Structure 1
Amino acid sequence: MAAFVFLVYGALTGDNPFLNLVLVIAIYAVVGPFLYLISAHALHVRSNSVRHGTVSLGYPIRRASGGRKRTFHVSELVDAKPEIGRGGYIGATFLLSDGTRFFIEQSAFEGRGLEIMNKLCRLVGKSYESEVKAILVQGRRYRFHIARLRGVRNHRLVFAQRIRTETGNAIRELAPDDVQSWETVSTPYAGPTYLVTMMDGTWFLITEAEAKSVGFPDLPGWAGKGLDKDSGKPMSLHSSEA
């Protein structure tokens, strides 16, 4: 290391072409492997997407035949099991017609995970959202995150701590426009609560006591986001149909 520093110093303070050449070679020898690893990683990492019925994954799945593929067609789906995977990741285990079985995380689809997982599971007669919610409401092993409220600012909920979202962002405030719905649920670990579903599929709970302390859900812009407990439809839509 001392010799390397000496070479750098000599190249920067002198006009010795030999030292300059040695410095370039030394830097390449040190930095080159890292650049190779970064470029190789960039080539292998691909985003997860669904186009024209083909699901593309950022990683290969081992087929029952022994090969590996990054894609499958929705017509191959024969079963799905919404569940909480290893490490507490929300998602579903899918079964293909050739016997291939694999797990996909909801967060793999960059903010569209809830929408896509709902559609994939619906193809085989499973209700992804309701089954995952039931697991997390029961809270036997995994639970919904409970967000603590600090107050309200311009109709936006302000949290005591940041909330990590499905898109990877950490938010401290939440506007009604960023919320898909809220509904009342009762959990054995938090009692009566409001379950909030954000547009990107992020879920969290607000205790009934804290919600009432800030006027939720009667705040402007929030009331119309509520789901009817019996029908599961937006309260405004349910009321108009009645």
Structure 2
Amino acid sequence: MVKPLAVGFVVLGVAALAYAELVPIVQQRSSNADAVLSVLLVFIVILLGFYVLRSIARQRPAEIHAGVLSLEHPVRRIDGSRTRIVALREIVQVQPNLVGGYPGIQVTLQDGASFFLDWYAFGSRGIDILEALCRPFGISFLKDYRRLLLDGSTYRFQIARIRRVSGPLLYLYPPVRTNERVGPLGQRRTRTVALSLVKSIEGASPSYAGRSLLVTLGDWTMFLIPEDDADAHALLANEDWRSKLVES
């Protein structure tokens, strides 16, 4: 759905500009200099539009099939060539990381080429696939991801306070950014968390938040609730919420 919309916007934008610039020329209301500038501007915009459309058209959803990793965008090899297809046997190292706030893994190939693969490239299966890619190297993507955010030196877990607890509903402030995508770049935010969406609750003590509860949702959204806040609202005194508690 996103790709057709993007193509439509680019085509409409180029067409609108071309119409606005070329119609006065056809109707002979512009000087020669203005006409040349208008034609040049339209030509440049068409070139830029072609470049954008080519990038959109070349984009493919990432997937793994029959021992081959198909990437969303081409990556550059050491010899300068570009490819979207990588055999899993070519991967010699993976390193969980966050780039621009996006969680994923840095992948290094046999020829020394390296690229970042974020979990959103695989949609809702992102965590499972990154775990599968890390497993042969004795690494857990999820554990390293949690460690990076608990360390807090570069990126940190979101911190939310409890406004109130009403049975199976937890009302938070400020709203929590979830892993549910809204368009190609956005993420949904929520102020309400239902018990049914909670995967686990565990204790944590990051230096930037103190004693807290780390809440993990079914879509792998993670956020911290200060322990004193949870105590003040008797969150874990509720048997249903306490059933989500796991050992760290």
TM-score, length of structure 1 as denominator length: 0.72
Matches within 5 A, 1:190-209: 190-209=209-228
Rounded Cα–Cα distance in structure 2 between residues aligned with 1:166 and 1:43: 26
1:193–1:69 distance in 2 versus 1, CA, 3 Å: same
Amino acid at match of 2:87: H
Structure 2 distance, partners of 1:103, 1:206, is 30
Aligned-pair CA distance for 1:218: 4.2
> Measured at CA, do residues 154 and 97 of structure 1 come closer, stay the same or move farther in structure 2, by a change above 3 Å?
same
Q: How does 1:207-218 map to 2 (within 5 A)?
A: 207-218=226-237
Question: How many pairs were matched up?
Answer: 207
Q: Corresponding residue for 2:86?
A: 72
Specify the code of the residue in structure 1 equivalent to 2:60.
R
- Residue 236 of structure 1 is matched in structure 2 by none
The amino acid of 1:50's aligned partner reads I
Question: In the alignment, residue 189 of structure 1 is paired with which amino acid?
Answer: Y
Indicate the RMSD between aligned Cα atoms, in angstroms. 3.1
Q: Does the C-alpha gap of structure 1 residues 103 and 227 become closer, same or farther in structure 2, counting only changes over 3 Å?
A: same
| 1:10-64 alpha-carbon deviations (Å, 9 max, x no partner) | xxxxxxxxx9xxxxxxxxx9xx959867754542332223334332222111122
- Answering whether residue 76 of structure 2 is matched by residue 62 of structure 1, we say yes
- After superposition, residues 143-154 of structure 1 pair within 5 angstroms as 143-154=156-167
Report if aligned partners of 1:113, 1:200 keep a CA contact under 8 Å in 2. no
Partner of residue 242 from structure 2, selected from 216, 223, 229 = 223
Superposition pairs of residues 20-31 of structure 1, within 5 angstroms? none
Structure 2 residue corresponding to 1:174, chosen from 166, 177, 193: 193
- TM-score (normalised: structure 2): 0.71
- 8 Å CA contact 1:92, 1:103 repeated in 2: yes
Question: How far 1:219 moved relative to its partner?
Answer: 3.3
5+ residue gaps, structure 1: 8-18, 20-28, 230-242
Q: Is residue 156–residue 174 contact of structure 1 (8 Å, CA) maintained in 2? A: yes
